[in-house]
Amino acid sequence: MNLALCSSSSLEPNNPFIEGSPITNRKIPTSKPFLRVGYVEKNEKVEEYCRNGRKVVVSSHLMPGHLEGAFMRKKRLEEPSRKMDFVRTLLIDNYDSYTYNIYQELSVVNGVPPVVIRNDEWTWEDVCHYLYEERAFDNIVISPGPGSPTCAEDIGICLRLLLECKGIPILGVCLGHQALGYVHGARIVHASEPVHGRLSEIEHNGSRLFDNIPSGKKSGFKVVRYHSLIIDSEALPKELVPIAWTSSSTHSFLESPNSGLTPDACENQLRSNRPFDTYSMGSYNGTAWSFSNPGRMQGKKVLMGIMHSTRPHYGLQFHPESIATCHGRQIFENFREITEDYWQRRRSRSTFINDRNVHYTACMQVSVASQLFGVPRTGAVVHKEDAQSFREASRRSQILGNADVNSVSISSVLKFPESSINVRHLKLKWRKFDKLAAQVGGARNIFYELFGACKAENTFWLDSSSIEKKRARFSFMGGKGGPLWSQMSFRLSDQSDTDFKGGGYLSIVDTQGSTRSMFLEKGFLDFLNQELLSFSYDEEDFEELPFDFYGGYIGYIGYSLKVECGMLSNSHKSRTPDACFFFADNFVVIDHLNDNVYILSLHEESTTTTPWLDDTEKKLLCLEASATRKLEEQASPTAAFSPCKGAFLGEKSREQYVKDVNKCLEYIKDGESYELCLTSQMRKTVGEIDSLGLYLVLREKNPAPYAAWLNFSNEDLCICCSSPERFLRLDRNGILEAKPIKGTIARGVTLEEDEQLKLKLQYSEKDQAENLMIVDLLRNDLGRVCEPGSVHVPHLMDVESYATVHTMVSTIRGKKRSNMSAVDCVRAAFPGGSMTGAPKLRSMELLDSLESCSRGIYSGSVGFFSYNQTFDLNIVIRTVIIHEGEASIGGGGAIVALSNPEDEYDEMLLKTRAPASAVIEFQ
């Protein structure tokens, strides 16, 4: 279904609660119905307005002056109160990709994790039940999000919360800030320019929300902004008070005096005893502030913060949760203190502060499966009859559940098909050969001699071919042969744009060649999760090994599996399987740091002999370094393998790609996305090509730390990957790590030119903005599955150099929560944010409408899932896919507000240059 964008910039309604008009006549893809603000019951009084020749309905629930219901105005007991041990927050997620950064901050500041719900997940009855009957929450935070508060489906129930919940502290961030303004009559307009991933200096008036935070130019109070729309400060309603603003100038991250520091390192720890904000009058910094003065802001300032004059409601246009915002945590701490002081002043909750029992502690997480991965967007309103089963089945487990509700694994609440592997308890045997790798010709020679026969059919090689600066250390290689070996291929059942029913078809071939097929109703990732959970093992089998793969699944997850990670549909069907994996039981590991070689064999507990170890040891010890010459002769390019010389053909012309970039810029201008990673495909017929020979040429031309060779012979599919980017890794200590790349520039011809280009990338405001947006996105994704307070960024915007390009790379890490499985972690973050943009879900919807074909394996991930739940996955870029006689290469780049369309096309070509030239030269 197509849906017009909504905004108030082209319409100035007399009543601020009328549904907004489109900014433009453009359509964006969405599977969600268009709904009015609020909802209308059968007997509810409504008013109709004519606007631009059409009727719009305004619910009386949203008319000015509508008060809280009678049950909300129950008499409060007036007993003495005390400070709270923890603060309970309801965090409303507007389908944003930064919500869980707020979640992490609030978990630390409040002493208990907030409850997160989507803006269309609860009915108004649910909200009232938890806020006023159960009194489950002390305050509310409304997240950022794509779109505009004038569009009902973008903001969901948030407008009604802001209008009717007068007696509970609320903090709105970005979209939440705009919603606070809009619901009280402010105009939402386009900013003079979109500002995404860029910093501004903030001035404030000393409001309680900014306690212990400096103000003004060169004060050190710089914040990150992600927005295209703003509240019009020239016509601010009298109910709203401006508390923060900035000039129109912006800064790149490296200009910040706190560059390289995390937000809590930026915090000013000064404390004061400033009294709580009053809501009718205020005195800030010793200066009286008139709420009725229409000319409160001087010059062309951009409004960055507001508060309501009589309610404990605040809004911030900037993002306090961003990694590059200083004093962000202090703001959340101030909001907690505002909340505590508010309830003390009202003396309203004293009787149950002492009764805040286990139901309201850290276990009060909402619905494990839906909250981690998100639920399909079914509209901003769920009618009472539709929500009945949800409320009855989940109310107690979500809010009043037992103390173990937060320790239940997502996997344990799902039903899975029977396991495809009978093995449950696995044993590992291994042998180590010190300093052997160089003696036998290195990784390339070992792979070719052990697994290169018969065109290297059914083989894998996770190849750390670039090990400079300790980027990668281990390579894993193997092939068909062991008794536990198998290959599984998965294809989604229905990828139409309008009706994705879920599930797909799995085919499994065992080591004897027998094939089994089954339909997976819940999809591939649930099946993989069940398989991994079915294994038991003895940790002493591998505790002395320095790496994290001990046997298990090696293969890829295609980009289209985004439909198992929160997306509703795919616009295009992939030509290749959507996932393919080997179960590897016999394999070789090379430690490039120490030059050691390991051989490993995984077997059932009842198996006593491992002949593969004996045979492989003999082969290794017989190898000679001179065998490299033989390898080079066999892999050298020859005219016999060049039936189809010529260039690659792009799916899109330069003209069309530039046109699509301009569409992206329009979406960004209208607030639909902060960053869109637009891609395209190049194709070339290659016929019967020596795919392994091609890969060996590619790894020489473009060595990379997360390179890979995969040959799925049954699918006539070879993957020749030279990726420099890690998607996500989980080690045996439970540490998750992502290393997104955003920002790329070509290498120079001379050393001087090369260094100049490197510095140009390092200090580029556009590239820094790209990288910062994805860093915040990955922090969010890790924050969904990591322990509160553990997500951190040890390396921010480092520049790494490769054979053909310089890239800007950041590193994000966090400690996995004990109740999260390996697949839970992948599902929370897939596809990698560096290939989607932010916010992720809305950006993928837009990209599906712009891109003319499926990305297939490109933009997905290649890597391993070990049987003990460790994993390491790359991002599939700089990769040649050979499938049924055709070579395809994907390329693209991040479109941000600062992008130049022509430059973006050139960057896309740059990223495909190395793999494309390898194919052409090899032929």
Residue 159 phi, psi (nearest 5) = -60, -40
* DSSP-derived 3-state class of residue 791: coil
Residue 756 CA, chain-centre distance (Å), reads 32
Do residues 596 and 430 lie in contact, with contact meaning Cβ atoms separated by under 8 Å? no
User: Which is nearest to 224 in space by CA: 190, 267, 148, 173?
Assistant: 173
Neighbours of 46 (CB within 10 A): 14
Query: Both tokens of residue 627?
Result: 């065998």
- Of residues 19, 105, 239, 321, which has the active-site annotation? 321
Which residues, other chains included, contact 719 with Cβ-Cβ below 8 Å and sequence gap of 6+? 556, 708, 709, 710, 711, 857, 862, 876, 879, 880, 881, 882
User: Which is nearest to 707 in space by CA: 717, 697, 867?
Assistant: 697
Active-site residue flag, 121: no
- Of residues 184, 196, 308, 319, which has the active-site annotation? 319
Do residues 754 and 747 lie in contact, with contact meaning Cβ atoms separated by under 8 Å? yes
Hunting for tokens 């915002």 — which residue is that? 325
H-helix segments, 784-896:
822-829, 840-850
Q: Quote the CA–CA distance of 694 and 330 in Å, as a whole number.
A: 55
Neighbours of 91 (CB within 10 A): 22
Active-site residue flag, 326: no
Q: Quote the CA–CA distance of 768 and 136 in Å, as a whole number.
A: 41
User: Which is nearest to 98 in space by CA: 341, 325, 387?
Assistant: 325
Beta bridge partners of 726: 739, 874
Q: Quote the CA–CA distance of 195 and 317 in Å, as a whole number.
A: 11
Residue 8 CA, chain-centre distance (Å), reads 29
Hunting for tokens 């970039």 — which residue is that? 661
Q: Quote the CA–CA distance of 672 and 649 in Å, as a whole number.
A: 31
Do residues 426 and 552 lie in contact, with contact meaning Cβ atoms separated by under 8 Å? no
What amino acid is encoded at 121 in this protein? Answer: E
Do residues 907 and 893 lie in contact, with contact meaning Cβ atoms separated by under 8 Å? yes
Residue 52 phi, psi (nearest 5) = 55, 40
Active-site residue flag, 68: no
Active site residue ranges: 174, 319, 321
